[in-house]
Chain A
Amino acid sequence: MEEIKNNNELDAFAKKYVKEIKLESPSKDFTTSLMSKIVSEHQIKNVFTAKALISKKGWFVIFLFVLVVIFIPFESQEKSLVSFSNIDFSFFNKIQIPNFSISNAVLCAILFFGLMFMAQVVFLKNHFNKRFE
């Protein structure tokens, strides 16, 4: 009982006197210097943000357009511009590849090199993105 009374009294004491403390203010040019920092960081971010020349939406439209041009028949012709059944693929048989062999070790090395190269591209992209975040 006594303890509760003391706690309430202590709570009232803190409430009353802490509230009287003056709020601190930063330096006068705080907002100005902060905003200039933010603006310069914003500009750096804009400079280093890679933007695709053709957006995903753009690529989708181009893809659709190509499909329309190639596969949908024009009204005047009433048939498709490209018909796979008419294309003669027999020239594949005429191509002569010189007979050379690669050892498994070299093939593995080339594949591994390619894999690491791709991994490095992804890693470096993330690294530079983080640096300018």
Chain B
Amino acid sequence: MTHKNDQIYIDKVIKGDINAFAYLVDAYKNMVFSLAFKMTKNREEAEEVSQDTFIKAYKNINKFKGDSKFSTWLYRITYHGSLDNIKKNKKNKNTLEINDITFNQIKSVENILEGIERKERAKIMNDCLLQLQEKERSLIWMFYYDELSLREIIEITEISEANLKVKLHRARKKLLAIVEKNVEPELINHYGRN
């Protein structure tokens, strides 16, 4: 859905047309749910966060001024809603030590991934992404999957640009380390065969 189309439906909702909101829900539910799921790691909780996100958006839609994209505005509500949910459920944080990465390390993991069927590879990547800390996986998701700009992510997460760049870099390194760990048996086989 385009930025212009969004505004047409938003105007309709503000004028009292509740059904117009259903179009916005349908257009953005997968995007909102995916971010909530990546952060909470639980379908039921992600669904709850998504529902709350849309209800909050509906109640405050007259406050949406159109300065940013509607999707960015929704993402902001989803991101903070997911963080609240995580805080409420006090999930344990998993920490992983990361060392400096090498070019060869990246290439060898890439080689292994290329040898795996695309569908299976996507599943591995999803599982690895879920092993990152919630803030890190949300940043990776927004930056690499949704291709949001740094400016948009700053608007959503309210963290400084310098901090965001550091966090993104750290998250990327961690992701590679997790993927490497997950495909390790294949890696050993791969080098064993050579």
A-side interface residues toward B, CB under 8 Å?
Answer: 2, 5-7, 9-11, 13-15, 17-27, 30-31, 33-35, 37-39, 41-42, 133
Contact = CB atoms under 8 A, between A and B. Distances in A.
A13 B34 CA distance: 21
10 contacts: A6-B103, A10-B172, A10-B173, A15-B144, A19-B145, A26-B33, A30-B25, A31-B22, A31-B25, A35-B21
Contacts of A37: 51, 55
Nearest to B58: A38
Contacts of B175: 14, 18
A25 B30 contact: yes
Given A9-B106, A31-B22, A35-B22, A18 B50 contact: no
Contacts of A30: 25, 29, 33, 47, 50-51
Interface of B: 18-19, 21-22, 25-26, 29-31, 33-34, 37-38, 46-47, 50-51, 54-55, 58-59, 101-103, 106-107, 109-110, 113, 118, 121-122, 125-126, 129, 140-141, 144-145, 169, 172-173, 175-176, 179
B33 to A, nearest CB: 4
B116 to A, nearest CB: 10
A21 B110 contact: no
Contact of A26 (B47, B103, B140, B141): B47
A66 to B, nearest CB: 34
A26 B144 contact: no
B176 A10 contact: yes
Contacts of A34: 25, 51, 54-55
Given A14-B175, A23-B31, A37-B55, 6 more contacts: A10-B173, A15-B144, A18-B125, A21-B145, A24-B46, A37-B51
Contacts of B113: 17
